Amino acid sequence: MTFQAYIDNIKAKTGKTPADFKNLAEAKGFLANGVIVKTVKATEITDWLKAEFELGHGHAMAIYATFKGKS
């Protein structure tokens, strides 16, 4: 599956874009000014995405990758 396919599937499942998730992550304190807070671990973010949005691990990692700058 391509990276874009992951993003498309996430949007179809949740109705949210990577930008939406970025805003939500900022509100949760995982990001500050669009950058992952240094004390936040990847597992904290992926666990949140799995629990709150019922994403699988690969899909949660795709969103995490967008936080790291992949587009």
Query: Which residues partner with 36 through β-bridges?
Result: 31
Nearest CA to 35 out of 69, 71, 62 is that of 69
Question: Domain count of the chain?
Answer: 1
Query: What is d(CA 39, CA 13) in angstroms, rounded to the nearest whole number?
Result: 29
**Residue 66 predicted with pLDDT over 90:** yes
Q: Which domain holds residue 41?
A: 3-67
What is the enclosing helix (H) or strand (E) of 67? helix 57-67
pLDDT in tens, 11-38: 999 999 999 999 999 999 999 999 999 9
Phi, psi for 36 (deg, rounded to 5): -65, 130
Instruction: Provide the pLDDT for residue 33.
Output: 94
Cβ 36 vs Cβ 69: under 8 Å: no
